[in-house]
Structure 1
Amino acid sequence: MNAIVMGAGRIGRGFVTELLTANHVNITFFDATDAMVEELNKQGQYEIHVLGAESKNTIVKNVKAYSTKDTDKLAECWADADFIFTACGGKNMKAVGATLAEAFKKVIAAGKVHTSNIVTCENWIDPATDLKNGILENLTEDEKKVFEENTGVSESVVMCTGTGAPDPSKLVNPMDTWVQDLRYLPVDKDRIRGELPTLEYIEFVPEFGNLLKQKIYTNNTSVATVAYLGRLKGLTYVAESANDPEIEPILDGVYAEINEALVKGMGINEESQLAFSKRAKAKYTDRAIIDILTRIARDPIRKLGPEDRFIGPISIALKVGVNPKNIALGCAAAIYYENPEDEVAVELVKIRKEKGVDYILENICKQDLNGPVVKCIKEAVAELKQKGWIKED
């Protein structure tokens, strides 16, 4: 079996590659960063380290990497590939779709069209739809028909964390990467074309439904809360913040609110949701996983969007009579997040200082200033100021 991995970051060359290698799948990497492509080819191999379980490490050999700009090579590889896995960042799905469309045209021209599937591995709401739209809008009507008949565009839920070296000073191979000890990837079965392969650790799940949104509103909301509150307190690491005696009770409150909101508001199975939240807390409080808060907190403007990890569950909670005061504390901390090394965070600080919190709530969060979501968040801001965590007037 052959697969293309688009995006050679920590999830692509780490978690996804770990699972594919365990299944003896031949992998070809494509990445948008020339330096990444060059380094992968220069090293020729690297090691995927499993945090807290080094005996499970995977050595990836015979590495082949190409630029995503090389659509001739992408088409050549696609002609022999059964699967394409994307780990490029959800906001890039439309651009990745355009690249895949250009390559698919060349697959058609070469007469090499066959049944294949694309699986998104993104922390993003509905990435498969964004990717497919990005592909189809760059194909002719005839090409669209060929694509639809032969290619599935599905999505997965990545619950594993990928990180850098716990001790960068000891790093020998710059391509080495570290992953959580969690070999499991659920994939939406109903969007897959052709015969399903039997792959260990990869489960093709029927009636996938809201699984990805459930993951984002449980895992991403809770770890973002940990990140932004932790930074307000001057902390550095995810586990350090999640175990902080002042933050951990808030984290527990977040899970309680999310659990009730998703069960009542989205019809998610209660047992499933409780298991989701327990796994999430165990993951973020695990001190063996060395992950920095600034990595989790980056790109705060996107994370304050109307359907993202804060406003989305807050809105659902309020509609079903749940008071999301703890989720709102995370949102309030995000509004006041500062990191001079993060361009988006710098922009957010500028907006907040020049235009005010109301501007953020109305224009970034897309909320009615007289509505219940804004009231809830403003109460959270007041509470964080009273605690002394927000020191700005």
Structure 2
Amino acid sequence: MQAVHFGAGSIGRGFIGDLLHDSGYEITFVDVDPAIIAQINRDKAYDLYLIEQNYLRKTIDHVSAVSSITQEQETVAALANADIITTSVWADNLPRIAPVLLKGLRARQEAGKSKVNILAFENAMFNSDILKKSILELEGSLSEKELEEIASFPNTAVDRMVLEGKQEGKAVINIGQDYELVIEQNKLAEPGMKPIRNAVYTDNLQKFLERKLYIINCGHAWAGYIGHVYGYEIIQDVFHHDTLVQEVRETMLESASMLERKYGFSNQELVEYVDFAIARFQTPGIVDTINRVCRSPIRKLQADDRLVAPCLQCEEYGLKNSRLQQGIAAAFLFRNDADSQCEELRLYVEEHGIGAAITHYTGIPAATQLHEGILKHYEELYRTA
């Protein structure tokens, strides 16, 4: 079986390439980096190192690579013969790969090939839909009906610890052993099939997207903003402070209680997921900055994002949300001169006051219990900072 994967970076090689390999595919990576393309083609393999297993080496073989810039013809030929097409190029770059992907799909159409699954493994909501839309928006593209006759675009949810490294002068990937890969089953070319082993297949992707956003991303952001208030610069230092780890857990469990009510996840399943999330952030040898984790606070304070959305929904269900309120308050205290959103937030608070800022950026109305709770946490944290 043949797989074509766009993106030979850390997610591409360390996560998707690993699973495609274990699913029995020979993989052609499509990338723009001449060095990694040359390394893959020279060795016909690359190495992964399992962090929790004392960096045990795992070799991924039966691989090759082509340049989407200088080897378009070879890329199109690989796409025409692929049994599955996948991506991990960052969601913002999906429009950039759409033109060559369209050429590959036209080649499949002309050759009478069967319908192919195209899965975008990007950290974005409804990621494959973004790719499909990017193809349809191209000048002279196929009609939506024609595109749906030759390709399916199941959305996905992805999560794994992957870190680039060097071993013996070669680019390698260090990976966490635990991961989550969820695929929208009802949008597969053949809904009963399972093209990738050890993935979760579901007809309700939304609940898995929200579980990741409202537990993992929420807890990570909460730890970053609270960590900043207490003067930390490295996020791992927060996750090695017993009291703060317990408070991160309480935050995640607030979101989990809402997800249990909303989607029917079992309590045990969600508690195990929280444990998985915290263990991931405590992975030995990982170093990440508070500034990176906390960047773009305005985006992270939106009503549909990681902190405010679960807080609002807990409020609707009458569930505890004090830790979530605290995280929202802490985000307004984040300071990083290099972050334009951070500076905008600071100036708005200075000019209009924190009460108006909470409503402006989160949409939470003033004079509500939730607004008053966040304001109280802000005042307490302000004194700490």
| TM-score band w.r.t. shorter chain | 0.7 to 0.9
Whole-Å Cα distance in 1 between the matches of residues 216 and 205 of structure 2? 17
Q: Which residue of 2 aligns with 1:103?
A: 103
Residue 336, structure 1, aligned to residue 336, structure 2: no
Residues 3 and 26, structure 2, Cα contact 8 Å, conserved in 1:
yes
Q: Which residue of 1 aligns with 2:118?
A: 118
Residues 66 and 75, structure 2, Cα contact 8 Å, conserved in 1:
no
Deviation at 1:221, TM superposition (A): 0.8
Q: Which residue of 2 aligns with 1:314?
A: 311
RMSD: 3.2
Equivalent of 1:233 in 230, 239, 244: 230
| Alignment CA distance shift 1:77-1:377 (3 Å) | farther
Q: Which residue of 2 aligns with 1:88?
A: 89
Residue 202, structure 1, aligned to residue 199, structure 2: yes
| Structure 1 residue runs without a partner (length 5+) | none
Q: Which has the larger radius of gyration?
A: 2
Residues 84 and 118, structure 1, Cα contact 8 Å, conserved in 2:
yes
Residues 119 and 155, structure 2, Cα contact 8 Å, conserved in 1:
yes
Aligned residues: 375
The one-character-per-residue Cα deviations of 1:10-30 (angstroms, maximum 9, x if unpaired) are: 222211112222334222223
Whole-Å Cα distance in 1 between the matches of residues 103 and 230 of structure 2? 48
Whole-Å Cα distance in 1 between the matches of residues 92 and 356 of structure 2? 23
Residue identity opposite 2:116 in structure 1 = S
Residues 71 and 99, structure 1, Cα contact 8 Å, conserved in 2:
no
| Alignment CA distance shift 1:127-1:199 (3 Å) | closer
Residue 40, structure 1, aligned to residue 44, structure 2: no
| Alignment CA distance shift 1:330-1:101 (3 Å) | same
Q: Which residue of 2 aligns with 1:349?
A: 342
| Structure 2 residue runs without a partner (length 5+) | none
Whole-Å Cα distance in 1 between the matches of residues 107 and 355 of structure 2? 50
The one-character-per-residue Cα deviations of 1:348-386 (angstroms, maximum 9, x if unpaired) are: 232023222567545543444455554343333222113
Residue 280, structure 1, aligned to residue 277, structure 2: yes
Q: Pick the structure with more strand per residue.
A: 2
- Give the stretch that moved more between structures: 113-122 or 370-379: 370-379
Residues 254 and 314, structure 2, Cα contact 8 Å, conserved in 1:
yes
The one-character-per-residue Cα deviations of 1:199-255 (angstroms, maximum 9, x if unpaired) are: 433343455451122122111111221223223334344442123134123212202
Residues 159 and 179, structure 2, Cα contact 8 Å, conserved in 1:
no
Residues 226 and 251, structure 1, Cα contact 8 Å, conserved in 2:
yes
Deviation at 1:143, TM superposition (A): 3.0
The one-character-per-residue Cα deviations of 1:122-161 (angstroms, maximum 9, x if unpaired) are: 3333323333333334477963212212322113332321
Q: Which residue of 2 aligns with 1:67?
A: 68
The one-character-per-residue Cα deviations of 1:8-67 (angstroms, maximum 9, x if unpaired) are: 332222111122223342222234xx4xx1121232354221112146422345541423
Q: Secondary structure at the match of 2:177?
A: coil
Q: So what's the TM-score if we normalise by structure 1?
A: 0.82
Whole-Å Cα distance in 2 between the matches of residues 69 and 349 of structure 1? 40
Residues 183 and 201, structure 1, Cα contact 8 Å, conserved in 2:
no
Whole-Å Cα distance in 1 between the matches of residues 107 and 35 of structure 2? 28
Residue 18, structure 1, aligned to residue 15, structure 2: no
Quote the sequence identity (%): 20
Residue 223, structure 1, aligned to residue 220, structure 2: yes
Q: Where do residues 142-181 of structure 1 align in structure 2 (5 Å cutoff)?
A: 143-165=143-165, 172-173=168-169, 175-181=171-177
| Alignment CA distance shift 1:249-1:75 (3 Å) | same
| Alignment CA distance shift 1:253-1:101 (3 Å) | same
Whole-Å Cα distance in 1 between the matches of residues 57 and 37 of structure 2? 21
